Amino acid sequence: MSTTTLPTYDIFIDGEFVSPAEDRYLDSINPATGKAWYQVASAGAADVDRAVRAARAALVSPAWAGLTPSARGRLLRRVADGLAARAEDLAMLETNDNGKLIRDTRALYGNLPIIWEYFAGWADKVGGEVVPTVGTNLTYLRREPIGVVAAIVPWNAPINLASHKIAAALAMGNTVVVKPSEITSAGILEMMKILDEAGVPRGVVNVVTGTGADVGQALVAHPGVDLIAFTGGTSTGTAIAKKAAERHVPVLLELGGKSPNIVFDDANTSNAANGIISGIFAAGGQACTAGSRVYLHNAVYDEVLDKVKERMSGIRLGDPLAAETEIGPVAYEAHMNRILDYIRIGQEEGADLTFGGNRVSEGDLASGFYVAPTIFENVTSEMRITREEIFGPVLSVIRFDTEEEVVRQANDSAFGLVAGVWTQNVNRAHRIAHQLDAGTVWVNTYRALSPLAPFGGFKSSGHGKEGGEYGVLEMTRLKTVWVNLSEAPTADPFVIQK
Ligand code: NAD
């Protein structure tokens, strides 16, 4: 039992909030104030084991396995209704937890029910198919639940990212153990109350909070887990994939990015400037989709960049709960220091720092974790600030002249998550979109996302899809069944059957 006067969150196992096996709790810090505002259980391997056992038991329980697909769909819709009723609370909670703007979290969580409704619609629509084999066989395919899904999520949009995994998994009849980021646990735990009120049977969704070292690793290694659905950093994804390989457990990896945002000479420069701002300064650049490498055609270089700088000069940095704020704090102190380190590295590498580049700590912002929007020019492809994910409001700007040159530079990256293309030429738009190594390409828009559309990266940005039918099918295993319909004597046993 925690002894603090702060609000305290326990872990959620088998339909109840329970204390962790070891009596340990972590402070959760509000990044706008630098102060602890709740405590959350710092669980360990014993708690993970309990949660996975609960999820395994629920998987075959009549209360869950006995539900018809239509009933599962109705249940997910009830969750959607519960989330709609609590959208404002969830938005406030996440803003206090990770510093995302309240206007952004209101938009994110106003739309949260859509995720649940979308996957609810799939609950009774995924069937099998019959394969046209020759001979006397009936050969058919079954889509079955995979089993217990470990959903491991980061801090930058925790309730949203967890919802994609949980709703898709439940739609297909799986059960889930969620591991939130230790930076932002409260929202996902609050969501469990809504699932419970909606009637999700006990053990179907469990949440174990704590660090990656204590909880994440134990969950990945647990023999009762059948699929690991991970969103987070690329190096963590690599460690998880290696561990999972020891047990041959499938992994879905939604990892980091260093995404190119390309502006051609025929682009609408005002829209492109807004797309650049949305790509790198919205959410303080703390988005996997951050358009952190901007490629500007020489003919529009000054015009576009002047528009970006003009808009950013009047930017309102401050309290993320204030309606007029445009950039809030970054999520936690160590992360702020990492971003500031990268700004120093960029200067040491010889890039020109032409905008921002500092911590902002005047007046009310003194104890919060604020970084000024930052622009580097005269950047080369070799610099670390062009190659590594910073996950903050730091933009590298590069000039180009030809399509061939910009496609080569854009693809010269370990990552392949998303890309932006700004042009009025429809032929060029499609031509470039087809050549880019990115799981999602946006043409004349940026940061457009929907649960209806599959999302997932190439190369070091991961593999597997979330969203759309493809994301739903990731939550199933495919079984092939052969049935011999013939009454005739068995064929030659030494010859392969067909
Ligand atoms: P992170 O990799 O540090 O942590 C992610 C989660 O993994 C946390 O819950 C953490 O506790 C857990 N974890 C850490 N080590 C672990 C281990 N060894 N085994 C199991 N779990 C472990 O990432 P972060 O800093 O929380 O989030 C930022 C990263 O997430 C960025 O790289 C960003 O690009 C990425 N991200 C990707 C997407 C996407 O859809 N591709 C979306 C959002 C964020």
Residue of the CA atom closest to atom 8 of ligand 1: 181
**Nearest CA residue ID for atom 20, ligand 1:** 216
Cβ within 8 Å of residue 186, ≥6 positions away: 9, 28, 38, 40, 93, 97
133 phi-psi bin (left φ>0, alpha ψ -120 to 50, beta other): beta
How far apart are the C-alpha atoms of 489 and 485, rounded to whole Å?
12
State which ligand 1 atom lies nearest to the alpha carbon of 236: 2
Spacing, Cα 115 to ligand 1 middle (Å) = 21
- CA atoms of 257 and 260, how far apart (whole Å): 9
Helix ranges (H only) for 349-488 are: 384-387, 403-411, 426-435, 468-473
**Residue 342: how many CA atoms within 13 Å on its side-chain side?**
24
Q: Whose CA is nearest to atom 35 of ligand 1?
A: 232
Q: Which two tokens stand for residue 214?
A: 């204590």
Mutate to test the pocket of ligand 1, among 115, 181, 217 (most ligand atoms within 8 A of CB): 181
Query: Which residues have C-beta within 8 Å of that of residue 476, sequence separation ≥ 6?
Result: 126, 143, 144, 145, 146, 172
> What distance in angstroms lies between residue 79's CA and the mean position of ligand 1's atoms?
26
Output the CA 236–ligand 1 centroid distance in Å.
6
Strand segments, DSSP code E, in 94-191 are 129-131, 137-145, 148-152, 175-179
| Architecture, CATH, for domain 8-255+461-480 | 3-Layer(aba) Sandwich (3.40)
Which residue's CA is the nearest one to ligand 1's atom 39?
A: 254
User: Interhelix angle for 102-110 vs 87-98, to 10°?
Assistant: 140
HSE value, Cβ hemisphere, 13 Å, CA-based, for 87:
16
Question: Is CATH 3.20.20.140 the classification given to domain 260-443?
Answer: no
Cα(214)–Cα(377) distance, integer angstroms: 41
Largest CA distance in the chain: 89
Report the nearest atom of ligand 1 relative to the CA of 157: 43
Q: In this structure, which residue's CA is closest to atom 32 in ligand 1?
A: 233
- Nearest atom in ligand 1 to the alpha carbon of residue 217 is 19
**What is the per-residue pLDDT across 174-216, written as a single tens digit (0 to 9) for each?**
999 999 999 999 999 999 999 999 999 999 999 999 999 999 9
Cα 181 to averaged position of ligand 1 atoms, centre (Å): 8
Catalytic positions, written as ranges = 254, 288
Would 8-255+461-480 and 260-443 be classified into the same CATH topology?
A: no
Mutate which of 115, 152, 336 for ligand 1? The one with the most ligand atoms within 8 Å of its CB, which is 152
pLDDT in tens, 235-246: 999 999 999 999
Alpha-carbon gap, residue 236 to 232, rounded angstroms: 7
Please give the single-letter amino acid code of residue 229: A
- Tokens 């049935």 correspond to 483
CA atoms within 13 A on the CB side of 235: 3
User: Which strand (E) or helix (H) includes residue 418?
Assistant: strand 418-422
Among 286, 288, 389, the mutation site with the greatest number of ligand 1 atoms within 8 A of its Cβ is 288
Determine the distance separating the centroid of ligand 1 and the alpha carbon of 401, expressed in angstroms: 36
| Distance from Cα 281 to the centre of ligand 1, integer Å | 20
And the tokens for 39?
A: 């405590």
Ligand 1 centre and the CA of 152: distance in Å?
A: 8
pLDDT of residue 277: 97
| Residue boundaries of the structural domains of the chain | 8-255+461-480, 260-443
**Smallest CA separation from ligand 1 atom 3, residue:** 233
Ligand 1: atom nearest CA of 237 is: 2
pTM of the model: 0.96
Ligand 1 atom with the shortest distance to the CA of 239: 18
Closest ligand 1 atom number to CA of residue 466: 40
| Per-residue confidence in pLDDT tens, the chain, 498 aa | 555 689 999 999 999 999 999 999 999 999 999 999 999 999 999 999 999 999 999 999 999 999 999 999 999 999 999 999 999 999 999 999 999 999 999 999 999 999 999 999 999 999 999 999 988 999 999 999 999 999 999 999 999 999 999 999 999 999 999 999 999 999 999 999 999 999 999 999 999 999 999 999 999 999 999 999 999 999 999 999 999 999 999 999 999 999 999 999 999 999 999 999 999 999 999 999 999 999 999 999 999 999 999 999 989 999 999 999 999 999 999 999 999 999 999 999 999 999 999 999 999 899 999 999 999 999 999 999 999 999 999 999 999 999 999 999 999 999 999 999 999 999 999 999 999 999 999 999 999 999 999 999 999 999 999 999 999 999 999 999 999 999 988 878 898 877
Which protein residues touch ligand 1 with a CB less than 6 Å away? 152-156, 161, 179, 181-182, 211-212, 216-217, 220, 231-233, 236, 239-240, 254-257, 288, 389, 391, 417, 457, 462
Residue whose CB lies within 8 A of the most ligand 1 atoms, among 236, 389, 450, for a mutation test: 236
